[in-house]
A and B are shown apart, each in its own frame.
Chain A
Amino acid sequence: MKAKIHVTLKQGILDPQGKSIEQALATLGYTAVSNVRVGKYLELDLNETEKEKAEAQLKAMCDKLLANPIIEEYRYELDAER
């Protein structure tokens, strides 16, 4: 299975990179843009056939290492095709 994981700063936590990019976009004339958030994207292959087991493992990986629950939140997609 292929997993696609997105890690972003929690809402309410200042994202200085997002702010900076938002200002750059405004300079380019994209003044309708707001709330830019920068995150991380991870892909991984998981040698697991049962979706439930895969999800449990992914959650544990995110909680232990891939995201810091104090400042970050995560979401993932599991693609059973592969």
Chain B
Amino acid sequence: MNLGVIVFPGSNCDHDCVHVLGEVLRQSVRQVWHKETSLDGLDAVILPGGFSYGDYLRTGAIARFSPVMGAVKQFASVGGMVLGICNGFQILLEAGLLPGAMLRNRSLTFICTDVYVGVENAATPFTGRCEPGQVLKLPIAHADGNYYTDDVSLSQMKANAQVVFRYCTADGAVTPEANPNGSLDNIGGITNADGNVLGMMPHPERCAEEVLGNEDGRLIFLSMIDALKKAKLQPKTVTA
């Protein structure tokens, strides 16, 4: 598969993503500078974590106007698979590719720790390798991960099974104590209505190989590769 990792000024998890996809999972992967305007030849793109544009104004608020974001929107609109991790998730929210917005963590602190998330929807192209309800242990590292959306949008997302990850205990119980940042409904990851764009606050690229002592994150990337292979076997029905 040909995968792209977008690099904004201030991205700092792009190399981790490239390492996991290229070295660990042996896929063809390239970095895409934010000034590029074409994603031609790529099967999926990842918006990595970091502090794009220094998080000035609001997280993701300035990155969404980067030249490459026009191409990302176009790519997503024709069904292309887009994964936003942490700051990448924040950028997708600001760009309107995902519903809602991020508020400062309830604790007002930057939180860097392992959390548990339950897989609410294992039928997305990003979670096909997971069992429904499976609990994943993944690291988070953010100050603005307190997800918010209005009631109407939340009920639409629930009806469409767009809530993919919810913070929970190691046993899978979704409790207020297991919510690290105050997110509405313990939400840690969501897709768009079509299911081809996923935003998640935890970092799967930081736990995708044995040497790191945790491989849960690998499931996300393997699911994506599975979904891309499957799509390649089917005749294309979408045209731009």
Residues of A in contact with B (beta carbons under 8 Å apart): 9, 13-14, 16-17, 20, 40, 65-66, 68, 70-71
Nearest 10 interchain pairs by C-beta: A70-B101, A71-B101, A16-B108, A68-B101, A16-B106, A16-B104, A71-B148, A68-B58, A20-B108, A71-B103
Residues of B in contact with A (beta carbons under 8 Å apart): 57-58, 61-62, 65, 94, 100-101, 103-108, 146, 148-150, 182
In the complex, are the beta carbons of B108 and A70 less than 8 A apart? no
A13 surroundings in chain B (CB, below 8 A): 103, 148
Give the complex CA separation of A3 and B87 in angstroms: 30
In the complex, are the beta carbons of B150 and A65 less than 8 A apart? no
Give the complex CA separation of A68 and B58 in angstroms: 9
In the complex, are the beta carbons of A16 and B61 less than 8 A apart? no
A71 surroundings in chain B (CB, below 8 A): 101, 103, 148
A68 surroundings in chain B (CB, below 8 A): 58, 61, 94, 101
In the complex, are the beta carbons of A70 and B106 less than 8 A apart? no
In the complex, are the beta carbons of B148 and A70 less than 8 A apart? yes
Using known A-B contacts A13-B148, A17-B108, A70-B148, determine if residue A65 contacts B57 with beta carbons closer than 8 Å. yes
- Residue contacts A-B, CB under 8 angstroms, 25 given: A9-B103, A13-B103, A13-B148, A14-B103, A16-B103, A16-B104, A16-B105, A16-B106, A16-B107, A16-B108, A16-B146, A17-B108, A65-B57, A65-B61, A65-B62, A65-B65, A68-B58, A68-B61, A68-B94, A68-B101, A70-B100, A70-B150, A71-B101, A71-B103, A71-B148
Interface of B is mostly: loop
A17 surroundings in chain B (CB, below 8 A): 104, 108
Give the complex CA separation of A16 and B106 in angstroms: 6
In the complex, are the beta carbons of A14 and B182 less than 8 A apart? yes
Give the complex CA separation of A40 and B149 in angstroms: 21
Distance (whole angstroms) from the CB of A72 to the closest CB of chain B: 8
Give the complex CA separation of A66 and B94 in angstroms: 11
> Quick one: closest B residue to A38, CB to CB?
B104
In the complex, are the beta carbons of A70 and B149 less than 8 A apart? yes
B107 surroundings in chain A (CB, below 8 A): 16
B106 surroundings in chain A (CB, below 8 A): 14, 16
Known A13-B103, A65-B65, A70-B100; further 5 A-B contacts with Cβ < 8 A? A13-B148, A14-B182, A17-B108, A40-B57, A70-B101
